[in-house]
Structure 1
Amino acid sequence: MKNPLLEKFKTSFSTVPFSIIKNKHFKPAFIEAINSAKKEIDSITNNKSVPTYNNTIEALEFSGQNLDTISRIFFNLNSAETNDEIQKIAQEVSPMLSEFANDITLNEHLFKRVQLIYDIKDELNLTPEQDMLLTNKYKGFVRNGANLNEDKKSELRIIDAELSKLKLKFGENVLAETNKFELHLTKKSQLKGLPDSAIEAAELTAKQKEKEGWVFTLDYPSYVPFMTYADDRELRKKMALAFGAKAFQNDKFDNQQIVLDLVNKRYKRATLLGYKSHSHFVLEERMAEKPENVITFLNDLLVKAKPAAKSEFNRLAEIAEKDGVSQLEKWDSAYYSEKLKKEIFNLEEEKLKPYFKLENAIDGVFQISNKLYDLNFEEIFTIDKYHEDVKTYKVTDTSGNYISILYADFFPRKGKRNGAWMTSFKGQWKKDNENSRPHISIVCNFTKPTTTKPSLLTFNEVTTLFHEFGHALHGMLANTTYPSLSGTNVYWDFVELPSQLLENWCYEKEALNLFARHFETNELIPMELIDKIKKSSNFLEGMHTLRQISFGILDMEWHSKNPAKIKNVKDFETATFKNTQLYPNVKENCMSTSFSHIFQGGYSSGYYSYKWAEVLDADAFAMFLENGIFDKETSEKFKCNVLEKGGTIKPMDLYISFRGKKPSNNALLKRAGLLK
């Protein structure tokens, strides 16, 4: 069988030829690519020449590139355009990939070659990037079992294969639960309070499902407006209970045992490698360095955020009491938050949406990227896509040099997991005098167009777009020699800096004036609305901060100790949330069973990094505010010292080279209104 995944892509910019790739191609391609990569590894291992940087470290770095390409394509599709067949293939190939990764790191002869070079690295006159690559390669072996005896190496292989399958199953269950639930309404009275846009979208969903009336789902563009505006408290409760019970219903999609298996196997793996816990293992390669530092950081924020959060919660309770609600529950949160926002700022999300047509917001982030980093974006229609909704762009600099390909996938659908993320189909590297440019993708779940209106974004969706685009810039502007050090291949608690930094432009008049225009009249967003957006930027910041801290603490509790004695996921979670809890506990709900960031994604022992990066981004944006949000010198410094450098230099050194000093918590606390 001819397999397009095993041939050189004969496409514009060597992009993925999605239209000719079928599901049946993946497994044979993985098998063939793994075998080819094994041969490359064997040729490095069995090289009779004296180990050198070039014939060992660089050779290792550039080995298995075809396997990497196939993996990127397949697992990106498994997140954005999956189906039963793809999920089945994922369960089959994940252990194979895990075994192959172990074949490398547990290869004693290969490790000896790497170790020989590492031991004399001070004599080699390496560049900082070469030194970082060598250090990473050496640590990669040590941290993945190179120094274990054969019995323990075998044990590690078994654990890694099991972990790869568990993570996949966790994600499949969450997606199945999201798709399974729908709220089907047939009476107009049940829609009271909902904006026309939400009603129209629900009517469209019902028609697509061949039903009368209106259908609301657990996809964010459907769920969030319902929880924010629906007057019917019982219906809000029904939606909230369904959302919070994902993979926590003792059925075939239940994740409780999977969570326990994951944390126990992660702990076992870490202790096998000589670490005290999974968190100790993970944080050794993070800016935070160790669990104690993360816990101190979160507790320090908790002390400052909790009084503000309690005060804000009491204000919401007062408003709810006017409606006869004696006890504020989780399903009241968004609803009364919106009422309070309207009372304080006279600002309604629905009044903002007409100014944030998706196409205009995309154009806005493009213009801002042009002003900051001299990038141009041209939509092109000659590139294959994995779904008709996807948009494709060629990115160039102001001199016309090709920088990147960008894929953008904005709307929810059945085979796509919830949330928003940035990924890549191809990384960036330099080899044989060529700077091979990246293919970057952003994936979101925004409000779909209806029959009468284009896609109009909530302000939260606008900041999400900017967030993911910040990650995309990190990927697109990558300019390093080695693929494993390129773009977003940085410490996990540094990766959120570019994304969270770009969100700041959403609140600035100078930036909003570039794109925030009424979709019908083309009128620029009024200054009074910009003022309200700015003033409301700290709205309920105490509660939001407390919520993020609680997730970070839950992550650390799962991963920084021996979890062997934990028998009940819900009981453990309830006890962990005790010090950060504002709303009454809901017995039918459990967060851990759908906490994809830490149990499916790469955030285990890393969820704190969102708040950690906020410290960096607030401090970094303070410099832009001092010099002007489009100041060329400042943006050039950020581009050259952070965005282009990837993981070639330690993050704090990169940050200091941009900012001239270490970051201070004060910028974040001041911005959040938590600093007295």
Structure 2
Amino acid sequence: MTNVLLTKWETPFGIAPFDRISDDDFAPAVEQALAEHLAEIEAIANSDEAPTFANTIEAMEGAGATLDRVLGVFYNVAGADSNAARQALQRDFSPTLAAHSSAIYSNERLFARVADLWDRRDTLGLSEPEARVLYLAHRGFVRAGAALAGGAAERMKAVKERLAVLGTSFTQNLLKDESDWFMELSEDDLEGLPGFVVDAARSAGEALDKAGPVVTLSRSLIVPFLQFSPRRALREKAWRAWSMRGENGGETDNRDIAAETLRLREERAKLLGYADFAHFKLEPEMAGTPDRVRDLLMAVWEPAKAAALTDQAEMEAMLHADGVAGPLEPWDWRFYADKRRRALHDLDEAELKPYLQLDRMIEAAFACANRLFGLEFAPLDVPLYHADARAWEVTRGGEHVAVFIADYFARASKRSGAWCSAFRSQSKRPRVETPVVVNVCNFAKPPSGKPALLSYDDARTLFHEFGHALHQMLSDVEFGSVSGTSVARDFVELPSQLYEHWLEVPEVLGEFATHAETGAPMPEALLEKVLKAATFDMGFQTVEYVASALVDLEFHSAEAPADPMQRQAEVLERLGMPRAIGMRHATPHFAHVFAGDGYSSGYYSYMWSEVMDADAFAAFEEAGGPFDPEVAAKLEGFILSKGGSQEAEDLYMQFRGRMPGVEALLKGRGLAA
């Protein structure tokens, strides 16, 4: 039988024919696609023609199309809807793909052609996009170890293959810990929980074939449980399970994996002549060096810690007033923070949540994109990889722009968190491709027949991931290697964090925040309270994030620790971490850092981008308002459409005319006057 993954997809806009793809198709398709790609690379490397941009760099850009298509389907589906077969395939593919990459980057003839072009770059008459792609290709070869020889080259290959295996194991261990744990609740245990939390717990119980409601480790369920449950012992049990993912002993324990990963990253950096992994990883980023990252994080840490300690003292007094002796604990923070928010701002999330319907928030994100960039979204009736996923065609002026797929609900087969990815990225050369983009979230699924309700944090996450999607959908570059989100890691979060600001625009909430039962718009008084409370508990939020970012940086800025947990404890003690706040991501479940190299030494990136996003939204406020057409056109023209076709700092300078300081970030977080 013909493998559908290897055929031309006669589907709307070339969307993968998910209803005809079997897990059995992936392994033979990947095997054939790898062979095809290697043959294409060998043909480029062994060409008798003198190297030119067209026969080397552009040819490399066009090579591997089948492999990109097959892996685009596999990894997106494996992340959002895993099963035993897909997990086994991930374990098989990891070392194979790492070896394939090493074979390309260690191909001496291929590197010689790239190096020859690089040496002659000023005489080639290259366009700006061509010069950029040549620069990135040459840099990629050098950073991959192409200039290494003999034993060093072989060791680099072995290190990268092992790191790929470790990243896959880390991810699968974490998914198993998250999917296996649940806490059954009696009817008495539901006391004090708002209806939306009870509904989510009952829905989670149904999904697990339990007779009653359960709490799972899905963020959209466990966070509101910690926020609202008056039963302190249950909060402690839930918090400990959530905070100890990946460190429960046995086969799913990630501590040894983290230690080995850090050792191998250090070795990889030193093979290339760097002092440590952080210097290697940060070299191509906007920050450039660990010291610049540390300076930013510490500038935010001290005011954030001061705010958090003030809040902690107030909530500890509330705890004692409730008759509980002893200090405020991490499982108490959200419960008393919610009480304090109600007292200070008269804002109750149970009152707010019926106004934040998932479908209405999707409409809001789409409507903002329409007003800013002229995009239209029309539902597509096509088979997708899961019944919860849905798709839209994106057009502008009647012309096709992209396909947008969204998959919003938590399930045991989906890894935690929220992300944006692409089944296919935009390009013009050597072939024209339009993007197929996906947003994946983990919102609590409501019982059948009831609307899905979001917390304000959930709604912000939806806007955040859609900002990434816009970066992909509005990409307008020559080459796929610099398309969309293929930018510096500490620049990639700018579009996503910037888009969150439109959720806070009063007219957006005024139009789309409508009550799930009555359809009435959010009352102006409630809207005002929501916006006034936007920076509430920001000390906590900033401390838990910055602590994780600093631990990540310290892991990679010195000799790899034999015991990462001890190093983590030392860093937190040195910082004076408030005892009632846990890291947002402790080492054994720090998937950003250990599931792959993506955010290793780079978790700071969200804050680096936030410095820019606060300043970028100010550009709208200084002009005609949040939907000013001239500023929107500049945002698209200089940032969203450009991908990685220029240096990130140059793009931002073209948009704003200057680089911002940290002051706007501190003010935006309510940590400075």
Q: 2:565 aligns with which of 570, 592, 598?
A: 570
User: In structure 1, which of residues 592, 596, 602 is the aligned counterpart of residue 591 of structure 2?
Assistant: 596
> In structure 2, what is the Cα distance between the partners aligned to 1:21 and 1:61?
27
2:550 partner letter: I
Conservation of the 8 A alpha-carbon contact between 1:548 and 1:611: no
Corresponding residue for residue 321 of structure 1: 320
Larger deviation, residues 523-532 vs 388-397:
523-532
Distance in 2 (alpha carbons) for counterparts of 1:467 and 1:124: 41
Query: 1:263 deviation in Å?
Result: 0.6
Which whole-Å deviations, capped at 9, do the CAs of 1:109-136 have from their partners, x for residues lacking one?
A: 1111001110111222322221110010
Q: 1:607 aligns with which of 603, 606, 611?
A: 603
Change in Cα spacing, 1:481 to 1:586, as seen in structure 2 (3 Å) is closer
Structure 1 counterpart of 2:642: 645
- Alpha-carbon distance in 2 for matches of 1:180, 1:586: 22
Q: 2:72 aligned with 1:82, yes or no?
A: no
Contact between 1:245 and 1:590, CA under 8 Å: does it hold in 2?
no
Identify the residue that residue 618 of structure 1 maps to in structure 2: 614
Alpha-carbon deviation of 1:530? 1.6
How many angstroms apart in 2 are the aligned matches of 1:72 and 1:239?
35
Deviation at 1:195, TM superposition (A): 0.8
Deviations 1:623-659 (A, max 9, x none): 1111200000011100010000000010111001011
Alpha-carbon offset, residue 201 of structure 1: 2.5
- Give the direction of change, closer, same or farther, for the CA distance of 1:54–1:549 in structure 2 (3 Å limit): same
Structure 1 residue 203: Cα displacement: 2.4
3-state SS of paired residue (2:10): coil
- TM-score, normalised to structure 2, is 0.97
1:456 paired residue among 449, 453, 478? 453
Cα gap change, 1:586 to 1:296, in 2 (>3 Å): closer
User: In structure 2, what is the equivalent of residue 289 of structure 1?
Assistant: 288
SS in 2 for 1:673: coil
What is the rounded CA distance, in whole Å, between the counterparts of 1:53 and 1:137 in structure 2?
Answer: 11
Aligned residue in 2 for 1:100: 100
Which letter maps to 1:591?
Answer: A
Contact 2:548–2:586 at 8 Å: present in 1 too? no
Which whole-Å CA distance do the structure 2 matches of 1:347 and 1:298 have between them? 31
State the distance in 2 between where 1:10 and 1:525 align.
45
Amino acid at match of 2:534: S
Higher mean displacement: 144-153 or 313-322 = 313-322
Q: Is the 8 A contact 1:550 1:580 kept in 2?
A: no
How many Å apart are 1:568 and its aligned residue? 2.7
Q: Which residue of structure 2 aligns with residue 206 of structure 1?
A: 205
Q: Partner of 1:396: helix, strand, or coil?
A: strand
For residues 297-341 of structure 1, what are the alpha-carbon distances to aligned partners after superposition, in whole Å with 9 as ceiling and x for unaligned? 111222332222221222222222211233100101111111111
- After superposition, where does 1:524-563 map in structure 2 within 5 Å? 524-563=521-560
**Of residues 438, 441, 444 in structure 1, which corresponds to 2:438?**
441
Cα distance 1:585–1:612, how it changes in 2: closer, same or farther (>3 A)?
closer
The structural deviation recorded for 1:452 is 5.4
Question: After the TM superposition, which of the residue ranges 447-456 and 342-351 deviates more from structure 2?
Answer: 447-456
The whole-number CA distance in structure 2 between the counterparts of 1:257 and 1:202 is 34
CA contact (8 A) 1:367 1:514 kept: no
Structure 1 position 368, deviation (Å):
0.5
Moved more, 110-119 or 589-598: 589-598
CA distance in 2 between counterparts of 1:294 and 1:318 reads: 36
Aligned to 1:407: 405
Distance change (3 Å), C-alpha of 1:123 and 1:7: same
Residues 311-350 of structure 1: pairs in structure 2 closer than 5 A: 311-325=310-324, 326-350=326-350
CA–CA separation in structure 1 for the residues paired with 2:239 and 2:302: 29
The answer to whether the aligner puts 1:481 opposite 2:478 as a matched pair is yes
Q: Could you tell me how far apart the structure 1 residues matched to 2:123 and 2:46 are?
A: 24
Matched, 1:116 2:116: yes
Distance, in Å, in 2 between the alignment partners of 1:124 and 1:666 is: 44
Alpha-carbon distance between aligned partners in 2 of 1:327 and 1:148, rounded to the nearest angstrom: 55
Which residue type is aligned with residue 613 of structure 2?
Answer: D
Query: Aligned in 2, Cα 1:32/1:329: closer, same or farther, shift over 3 Å?
Result: same
Instruction: Choose the corresponding residue for 1:522, options 512, 519, 527.
Output: 519
Partners in 2 of 1:456 and 1:393 — Cα distance? 21
Where structure 1 has 5 or more consecutive residues not aligned to the other structure, the ranges are none
Q: Structure 1: which amino acid aligns with 2:589?
A: S
The correspondence of residues 334-413 of structure 1 with structure 2, limited to 5 A, is 334-381=334-381, 383-397=382-396, 399-413=397-411
Deviations 1:466-488 (A, max 9, x none): 00000000000010010010000
User: What do residues 135-184 of structure 1 show as CA deviations (whole Å, max 9, x unaligned)?
Assistant: 10001111011111121111111111111110000000001001111111
Tell me the number of residue pairs that the alignment of Structure 1 and Structure 2 aligns. 669
Matches of 2:305 and 2:195, distance apart in 1: 37
For residue 220 of structure 1, what is the amino acid of its counterpart? R
1:6 is displaced (CA, Å) by: 1.1
Q: Aligned letter for 2:345?
A: F
Asked if the contact 2:544/2:582 (under 8 Å) is kept, the reply is no
Contact 2:296 2:662 in 1 (8 A): no
SS of residue paired to 1:467: helix
Larger CA deviation: 413-422 vs 126-135: 126-135
> What amino acid is aligned across from residue 492 of structure 2 in structure 1?
V
Aligned to 2:429: 431
- Counterpart for residue 22 of structure 1: 22
For residue 3 of structure 1, what is the amino acid of its counterpart? Answer: N
Give, in angstroms, the shift of residue 213 of structure 1.
2.8
CA distance in 2, matches of 1:567, 1:153: 25
Q: 1:169 to 1:621 in 2, by over 3 A?
A: same
Q: Is the 8 A contact 1:15 1:384 kept in 2?
A: no
Output the CA distance in 2 between the equivalents of 1:208 and 1:91. Answer: 27
Alignment check: 8 A CA contact 2:540 2:581 kept: no
One-letter code aligned to 1:84: A
Q: Distance in 2 between matches of 1:617 and 1:320?
A: 37
Contact 2:279 2:557 in 1 (8 A): yes
Gaps of 5+ in 2: none
Shift of 1:580: 4.4
The alpha carbon displacement at 1:567 in A equals 3.0
Residues 411 and 445 in structure 1, CA contact (< 8 A), matched pair in contact too: yes
AA partner of residue 322 (structure 2): D
Q: Which residue of 2 aligns with 1:422?
A: 420
CA contact (8 A) 1:516 1:525 kept: yes
